[in-house]
């Protein structure tokens, strides 16, 4: 029975190779230099700036909790987990961490005890930062007042709660790397790429994720539903023909939250509030230079909605024009032209024209505020309409803004509003 022995041997062999491949990073950990940076005021200030660029505070602060002390719930399609305490508390924070431990977390996705971290922590982007920038971040966090705050236990579903699954995920979908500047590109482009792909972790929302939560490279920066959130990100890779006006608009959105014709909302309002409003103009311009070069990729499938036929669509648009005139035109203008720096234009608005009406439905139902920023401290609000208008009227007015003024986006059925 030689074939039986052969089969057993080959199964064992393949199993051994797969096992070795899996535990390779445990057997042969990537070496990290064990140097400690000096805690100079310049380095602390630099680290504070980089912490803004990475929006560490956004995730590592619980609702009305002390900044950087963790405890915010991060929902994922595989259960939720809570963020860790980044203050230098010895027992519950980073008090006992060395700069090398910290770099291992940012660059390799490993905790101090060697545990494999989940990609809800965007180390898949942060991996690209330089050791110098990691050290500055470390020194800044160590300069904070220690706060004792225990992290609540996570409720990730099996097997995502196991180290083996986290290791498997990292082996399949993560390769530690450091940003390599492209010598053929401009200094501004390289700086922008470093910020967008690294600390800015813009792809964490602007690139749709695959079945195991990995960013889908086929749809890089093409937007789509954000895992664990009710919002869709807009595509960032449609800006290749940006002229000076478009650049100024995007700069204003990232700096002030409100531009001449547009405003950010929902999760993007938080990104601007915590992060991009604090970035130097030159860094923002560099990011825009990089964004303007992003290649176009396949659009992901939009959220599933009821199909509306042509006849019904015309009825909805007609009914919606009345709702619009009565409830929206005062602010957004009769022809959707808006009011500069006050009310966004709805004509030619990327959020209104997105493949899915999801964000528009959300904002009409719940209302919204652009972020209050140093450049635009008192933005106007958008009132919620969930109590004022029926599902039918909301479907009609959204069908109207998606179909009027030369727009050609799909209509929305009342049944889809009811689902929210
Ligand atoms: C999108 C949310 C998010 C952002 C933004 C974020 N983190 Fe985290 N971070 C997490 C989550 C969630 C964990 C826990 C991961 C786990 O337990 O597997 C974590 C874990 C960590 C850890 C490991 C701590 C430990 O005890 O193992 C460090 C260090 C860390 N983050 C630092 C940072 C820094 C520095 C920044 C800003 C540059 C940052 N994080 C931004 C969500 C985030
Ligand atoms: C937490 C998720 C999240 C992250 C992280 C994020 N975005 Fe967004 N972004 C969104 C959502 C959702 C929208 C759509 C809502 C809106 O337009 O305000 C959006 C919209 C935008 C828009 C407006 C697009 C338009 O055409 O109106 C720009 C520009 C933008 N994001 C840039 C960035 C950049 C640059 C980064 C990285 C620094 C980033 N975003 C990181 C969620 C995110
Ligand atoms: C009182 C003034 C006001 C009224 C009335 C109003 N809006 Fe708004 N709307 C705003 C403001 C301000 C924003 C920006 C809010 C933000 O950035 O979150 C906004 C944002 C929006 C957006 C998102 C645009 C973007 O680019 O972020 C849509 C879509 C929208 N409104 C549709 C409507 C519709 C439809 C109606 C009528 C049912 C309406 N609005 C009534 C003030 C108003």
pLDDT in tens, 8-54: 999 999 999 999 988 988 888 899 999 999 999 999 999 999 999 99
For residue 385, give both structure tokens: 């309409």
**Could you identify the atom of ligand 3 that is nearest to the CA of residue 370?**
17
Per-residue pLDDT of 283-340, as tens digits, reads 999 999 999 999 999 999 888 889 999 999 999 999 999 999 999 999 999 999 999 9
| Residue-range domain boundaries for the chain | 29-173, 187-291, 310-418
Residue 1 has pLDDT above 70, yes or no: no
Q: What is the per-residue pLDDT for 26? A: 87
* Cβ neighbours, 10 Å, residue 216: 17
Rounded distance between C-alpha atoms, residue 107 and residue 267, angstroms: 25
pLDDT at 304: 83
pLDDT for 84 equals 98
pTM for the structure as a whole: 0.96
Per the CB < 8 A criterion, the answer to whether 282 and 323 are in contact is: no
- In this structure, the residues whose C-beta lies within 6 A of any atom of ligand 3 are 262-265, 327-328, 330-332, 343-344, 346, 349, 351-352, 360, 363-364, 368-370, 380-383, 385, 397, 401
- Run of H or E including 53: helix 41-53
Residues 149-174 pLDDT 10s = 999 999 999 999 999 999 999 999 99
Best probe residue, ligand 1, of 50, 74, 100, 121 (max atoms within 8 Å of C-beta) = 121
Can you give the pLDDT at residue 2?
84
* Atom 2 in ligand 1: residue holding the nearest Cα: 59
Q: Give the residue whose CA is nearest to atom 41 of ligand 1.
A: 56
User: Quick check: CB of 352 below 6 Å from ligand 2?
Assistant: no
130 C-alpha to center of ligand 2: Å?
Answer: 25
The predicted pLDDT at position 302 comes to 86
CA 260 to chain centre: 24
CATH fold of 310-418, please? Cytochrome Bc1 Complex; Chain D, domain 2 (1.10.760)
Ligand with minimal distance to 395 CA: 3
- Of 76, 283, 297, 74, nearest to 198 (Cα)? 283
CB 43 within 8 A of CB 126: no
User: Which ligand sits nearest to residue 122's alpha carbon?
Assistant: 1
Distance 382 CA to ligand 3 centre (A): 5
pLDDT per position as a tens digit, 172-184: 999 999 999 999 9
Question: Residue 240 pLDDT > 90, yes or no?
Answer: no
**What pLDDT, in 10s, does the model give residues 56-110?**
999 999 999 999 999 999 999 999 999 999 999 999 999 999 999 999 999 999 9
Percent of all residues in the chain with a pLDDT value above 90, rounded to a whole number = 93
Summarize pLDDT for 369-410 with one digit per residue, the tens.
999 999 999 999 999 999 999 999 999 999 999 999 999 999
């Amino acid at each position: 029975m030689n074939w039986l022995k052969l089969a057993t041997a080959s199964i064992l062999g393949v199993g051994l190779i797969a096992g070795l491949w899996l535990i390779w990073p445990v057997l042969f950990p990537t070496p990290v230099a064990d140097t400690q940076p000096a805690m100079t005021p310049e380095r602390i200030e630099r680290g504070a700036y980089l912490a803004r660029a990475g929006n560490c505070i956004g995730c590592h602060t619980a609702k009305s909790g002390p900044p950087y002390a963790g405890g915010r719930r991060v929902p994922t399609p595989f259960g939720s987990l809570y963020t860790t305490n980044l203050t230098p508390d010895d027992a519950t924070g980073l008090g006992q961490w060395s700069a090398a431990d910290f770099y291992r977390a940012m660059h390799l996705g490993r905790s101090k005890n060697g545990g494999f971290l989940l990609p809800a922590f965007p180390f898949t982007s942060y991996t690209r930062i330089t050791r110098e920038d990691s050290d500055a971040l470390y020194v800044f966090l160590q300069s904070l007042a220690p706060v004792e705050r225990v992290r609540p236990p996570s409720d990730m579903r099996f097997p995502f709660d196991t180290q083996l699954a986290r290791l498997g995920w990292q082996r399949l979908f993560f390769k530690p790397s450091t940003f390599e500047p492209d010598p053929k590109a401009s200094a501004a482009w390289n700086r922008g790429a470093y910020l967008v792909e690294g600390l800015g972790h813009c792809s964490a929302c602007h690139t749709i994720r695959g079945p195991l939560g990995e960013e889908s490279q086929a749809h890089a920066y093409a937007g789509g539903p954000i895992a664990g959130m009710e919002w869709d990100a807009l595509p960032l890779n449609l800006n290749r023909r940006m002229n000076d006006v478009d650049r100024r608009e995007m700069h204003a959105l990232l700096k002030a939250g409100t531009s001449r014709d547009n405003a950010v909302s929902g999760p993007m309002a938080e990104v601007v509030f915590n992060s991009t409003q604090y970035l130097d103009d030159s860094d923002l311009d560099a990011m825009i230079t990089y964004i303007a070069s992003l290649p176009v990729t396949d659009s992901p499938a939009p959220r599933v909605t009821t199909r509306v036929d042509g006849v019904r669509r015309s009825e909805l648009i007609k009914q919606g024009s009345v709702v619009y005139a009565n409830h929206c035109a005062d602010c957004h203008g009769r022809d959707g032209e808006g009011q500069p720096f006050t009310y966004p234009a709805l004509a030619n608005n990327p959020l209104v024209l997105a493949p899915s009406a999801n964000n528009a439905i959300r904002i009409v139902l719940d209302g919204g505020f652009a972020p209050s920023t140093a450049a635009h401290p008192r933005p106007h609000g958008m009132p919620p309409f969930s109590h004022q208008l029926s599902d039918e009227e909301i479907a009609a007015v959204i069908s109207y803004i998606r179909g009027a003024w030369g727009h050609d986006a799909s209509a929305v059925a009342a049944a889809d509003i009811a689902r929210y």
